Structure 1
Amino acid sequence: MAIKVGMVSLGCSKNLVDSERMLYKLRSHGYKLVTEPGLADVAIVNTCGFIKSAKEEAIDTILELGKLKEEGTLKKIIITGCLVERYKDEAAEQFPEADAVIGIGSTKDIVDVLDHVLADERYVCFAPKLEAELSGERIISTLPFFTYLKVAEGCSNCCTYCAIPLIRGKFRSVPMEDVIAEARKLAENGVTELVVIAQDTALYGNDLYGEPKLAELLTELCKIDGLRWIRTLYCYPERINDELLDVIAREDKLVKYLEIPIQHCNGEILGRMNRWGDTGRLEALFAHIREKVPGIVLRTTLITGFPGETEEQFEELAEFVKRVRFDRLGCFAFSREEGTKAYDLPGQIDEETAAHRADIIMEQQMLISCENNEKLMGKEFTAVVEGYDRFGECWFGRTALDAPDIDGKVFFTSERPLQIGDYVTIRITDTLDYDLIGEVISQ
């Protein structure tokens, strides 16, 4: 009987792509994949180690699987990913329930790792992080019509609050021909929506070609038959230029949507973060983007409670958010991470104050989102079907205004049966906080 393997992929969508590559290798070598680790012989945990809450989630997951192993439900546990890579000197000792502890440079050898643990060997291996594979076959674990397209690995920006360069190494782009080949194959297999991602997506190609090539890459992706929606996440503000905006405005397959993480607006705070901009330059940038691409959805992320953030600087941020009126926004309290420069900065702010400030920003954003949604009443949009809510007795999905996993949804009724992945035209009839309610008017 085939050995059953279950994967728990934690953290970001970039981590998910790594998990999908491991799954493909395992299935290709005859292992049976199961969706519930509790039903598996071997469980693999691909951890996140970015901030405190992510580390806690990873540790809790490993401990829960350890209990299943003690009970005999589970035979072996393999742990990998960012948490393990970040704390590689301690990980093997700290997680005695793990039969294998491997770094991100070793995930390409997951089949060999499994061979070791099935032979009752405890296996610990940390190949150089720069050996992490940049491309390869995957098993799509998202809904079948959409997936993430990771176009680069690592980061070279060295923001003072962020451990990603320590964990993942320097920024490395995937050669354009490899990206195009992967996207073409995904489209041939039924994927109609691609979400282009990297740690700093707008920098794509700079290390390979001497200049950023995201605009050129997106243009080439739009030529692929079968793709319908292509969106881009994680574009740093200083890298947004007219070439990129012109492509987004011109190409029908590029949804009018950009995620631009800015983290703050105050110039002094941004300087201590090793980030670009100030209130004036950022406001001018977003106004320019909206002028170049009318109707574009702008998403950003912010950090409150960064060391030294005064009440006045926080108020500046709150007023900035009110004026710019982002369509989508996430705000997080500063997480003090060892190994980063911000860890030792003076003026550390207590967690309660930082969290309270984040809550204020999100309350403001809720009001903005509700007001924006009210303006959509009666309008018609194309939506993709993601599933059926049997409790609400309605279908749900997303319009092009919303990215998978991080944004809102639209709930809608239909007189005809639908399939996941269908694109339908809906009319908005009501709103629900960040979500929309509507009805299908044509398929």
Structure 2
Amino acid sequence: MNYKVGIVSLGCAKNQVDAEMLLYTLKNRGFIIVNDPADADAVIVNTCGFIESAKQESINEIIELGKLKDEGKIKAIIVTGCLAQRYKSEISEQLYEVDSVIGIGANETIADIVLKTLDGQKCESFPDKVCLPLEGGRILSTPPYTAYLKIAEGCDNRCSYCAIPMIRGRFRSRDIEDVVKEAEGLAERGVRELNVIAQDTTRFGEDKYGKPMLAELLRRLCRIDGFKWIRVLYCYPDRITDELIDTIASEDKIVKYMDIPLQHCDGDVLRRMNRHGDRESLTALMNKIKDKIPNVIFRSTFITGFPGETEEQFNELAEFAAEMKFQRLGCFAYSPEEDTKAAEMPDQIDDEIKQKRADIIMEHQQQVMAEYCESLVGKEIEVLVEGFDKLAECFFGRSYADAPEVDGCVFFTCDGEKPKAGDFVKVRVTDYTGCDSVGEFVGKID
């Protein structure tokens, strides 16, 4: 019997790549892949377990799928990913909907797990995390013109608030030749935008080669025909070297977009986070990057209400955000995660205060993003077309300032030859709405 399998993947792009490898493994074993879980015999939930809201999203998804199972539309629910790795047997004990639970190290055996589960066996499998494969085929779940390229797994940074090292294990770089080979294959499949990801991309190569190799990898990727945009995400500030900055500045294919999760700027708060730097050093880093890459777009994340954060330290963070004018910024109230050092720290802050502080940062950020959008009015910008919005009756896409799924869009009208998804076009910006630019089609670039 050819069983039908669907996957629901939650959380970050790194998790999405894992799901794409699961899909490939299943298809190779003869399973029929379906997009709608209601059409599947078995549904795999590739969960996120990073913070409380992500955990709740995963649980809610499992409960909703359980309703389909109760109705007889699906036969089995299998849970993998970060939540499964973190809570193991607790999931099947507390969520009656779940039939099997496997850790990330068991992903390579997913086909056997699905068959056993559909045969009525309840499986729990938690091999060592290092068994999670770094190489393998993928069925892309992104549009055909864009893809993620995961260059490493795990994390060694040990931030005091973060459970990722416990969940995903030690940092493991892929071999640079294997990464380049996969990228070449993506280019041959028509991918035009390559998004380079890892928990900390700037650490790439340190464990395998004894030195940072991200800059070298990026130069190799830029030599591959087919890519027009190469975007680097998740750059840890401590490891942003002059070589990396110069590489991003000089390589035309690398979009001038730097995703640098800073979390805070106060030196004492950062030390308790087990991170480094202070407002002075971080300001110096940002200014150095701006000097070498004048048109750079910064994306960052902040945490408010970390244990012991004083009103003065929060005010310093708010001042830093106002001074730096990050064009892209997310601010989150601190979420205590069990088994992390920060969760056991004294001076935990009231949830209402944490959230209020985050709201203050984001309220000001709306002004910063509006100022950025205003600065684009009258200019022609390059846009990667993603589709046509029937409701708005216009096309939409992304500029280099917009990473997929996390940033804004560019909406534009077109009276002449219609572009298609994956085309690069010029758009003259005439206005903006919220954080999205609005404009008119000028012409195709290629």
Instruction: Report the TM range for the smaller structure's normalisation.
Output: over 0.9
Q: Which one-letter code corresponds to 1:166 in the other structure?
A: M
Q: Aligned AA for 1:5?
A: V
Aligned match of 1:147 = 147
> What residue identity is the alignment partner of 1:49?
G
User: Does residue 100 of structure 2 align to residue 100 of structure 1?
Assistant: yes
Matched residue of 2:23: which SS? helix
Partner of 1:20: 20
Residue identity opposite 1:392 in structure 2: A
SS of 1:408's partner is coil
Equivalent positions of 1:115-264 (< 5 A) are 115-264=115-264
Report Cα offsets for 1:218-267 as digits up to 9, x if no partner.
Answer: 00000001011001010011111110011111110000111000100000
Counterpart residue type for residue 441 of structure 2: V
Q: Does 1:73 align with 2:91?
A: no
What's 1:381 paired with?
381
**CA–CA distance in structure 2, aligned partners of residues 85 and 25 of structure 1:** 20
Shift of 1:3: 1.5
- 1:351-430 to structure 2, matched below 5 A, reads 351-415=351-415, 416-430=417-431
Which secondary structure does the structure 2 equivalent of 1:375 belong to? helix
Q: CA deviation at 1:278?
A: 0.5
The SS at the match of 1:406 is coil
The residue type paired with residue 333 of structure 1 is: A
* Residue 299 of structure 1 pairs with residue 283 of structure 2: no
For the residue of structure 1 that corresponds to 2:231, the secondary structure is strand
1:433 partnered with 2:434? yes
Check the 8 A contact 2:89/2:124 in 1, yes or no. no
Check if 1:442 corresponds to 2:409: no
Matches within 5 A, 1:32-43: 32-43=32-43
Taking the aligned partners of 2:423 and 2:146, their CA distance within structure 1 comes to 12
2:53 maps to what in 1?
Answer: 53
**Count of aligned pairs between the two proteins:** 443
Shift of 1:95: 2.6
CA distance in 1 between partners of 2:330 and 2:372 (Å): 16
Pairing of 1:314-329 with structure 2 (within 5 A): 314-329=314-329
* Structure 2 match to 1:268: 268
2:156 is paired with a residue whose SS is: coil
Aligned partners of 1:376 and 1:60: how far apart in 2?
Answer: 40
List per-residue Cα deviations over 1:143-180 (Å, max 9, x = no partner): 11001110000001110000000000000001101100
Contact 2:388 2:394 in 1 (8 A): yes
CA contact (8 A) 2:104 2:132 kept: yes
1:310 maps to 310
Closer/same/farther in 2, CA of residues 436 and 302 from structure 1, 3 Å limit: same
TM-score (norm: length of structure 1): 0.99
- Taking only aligned residues, the RMSD between alpha carbons, in angstroms, comes to 0.9
Q: Which amino acid letter does the alignment assign opposite residue 292 of structure 1?
A: K
Q: Look up the SS of the partner of 2:22 in the other structure.
A: helix
Shift of 1:352: 1.2
What amino acid does structure 1 have at the position aligned with 2:360? I
Distance 2:223 2:16 in 1: 26
CA shift at 1:39, angstroms? 1.7
Cα displacement (A) at 1:89: 4.2
Give 4+ residue runs of structure 1 displaced > 6 Å after superposition.
none
For residues 423 and 242 of structure 2, the distance between their equivalents in structure 1, rounded to whole angstroms, comes to: 33
Note if contact 2:245-2:292 (Cα within 8 Å) is conserved in structure 1.
yes
Deviation of 1:92 after TM superposition, in Å, equals 2.8
Greater shift in the superposed pair: 92-101 or 275-284: 92-101
Query: What is the letter of the counterpart of residue 439 of structure 1?
Result: E
Q: Which stretch of the first structure deviates more once superposed, 347-356 or 210-219? A: 347-356
CA contact (8 A) 2:91 2:98 kept: no
Matches of 1:388 and 1:28, distance apart in 2: 34
CA deviations 1:199-229 (Å, max 9, x no partner) are 1100101000000100000000000010110
Deviation at 1:48, TM superposition (A): 0.3
1:43 is paired with a residue of what secondary structure? Answer: strand
Deviation by residue 1:25-78 (Cα, 9 ceiling, x = unmatched): 111122111111112111000000000000001111111111111110111111
Which residue identity is paired with 1:331?
C
CA offsets 1:102-143 (integer angstroms, 9 cap, x no match): 000001111111121122111111111111111211000011
Structure 1's unaligned 5+ residue stretches are: none
**For residues 344-400 of structure 1, what are the alpha-carbon distances to aligned partners after superposition, in whole Å with 9 as ceiling and x for unaligned?**
101101111111111110111110110111111111111011111101000100011
Distance 1:155 1:393 in 2: 44
Query: What SS does structure 2 have at the residue aligned with 1:359?
Result: helix
The 2-side partners of 1:150 and 1:205 are apart by 13
Instruction: Specify the code of the residue in structure 2 equivalent to 1:147.
Output: A
Distance in 2 between residues matched to 1:249 and 1:317, nearest whole Å = 28
Q: Distance in 2 between matches of 1:350 and 1:361?
A: 17
DSSP-derived class of the 2:397 partner: strand
Per-residue CA deviation, residues 283-312 of structure 1 (Å, 9 max, x unaligned), is 111000000111111111000010001111
Structure 1 residue 279: Cα displacement: 0.6
Q: Match of 2:263, as an amino acid? A: Q
| Alpha-carbon distance in structure 1 between the residues aligned to 2:432 and 2:304 | 29
TM-score, with normalisation over the residues of structure 2? 0.98
Matched residue SS, 2:395: strand
2:347 corresponds to which residue? 347
Aligned partner of 1:181: which letter?
K
CA deviation vs aligned residue, 1:324-352 (integer Å, no higher than 9, x gap): 11111111000010010000101101111
CA distance in 2 between counterparts of 1:170 and 1:293 reads 33
Q: Give how far 1:97 is off.
A: 2.0
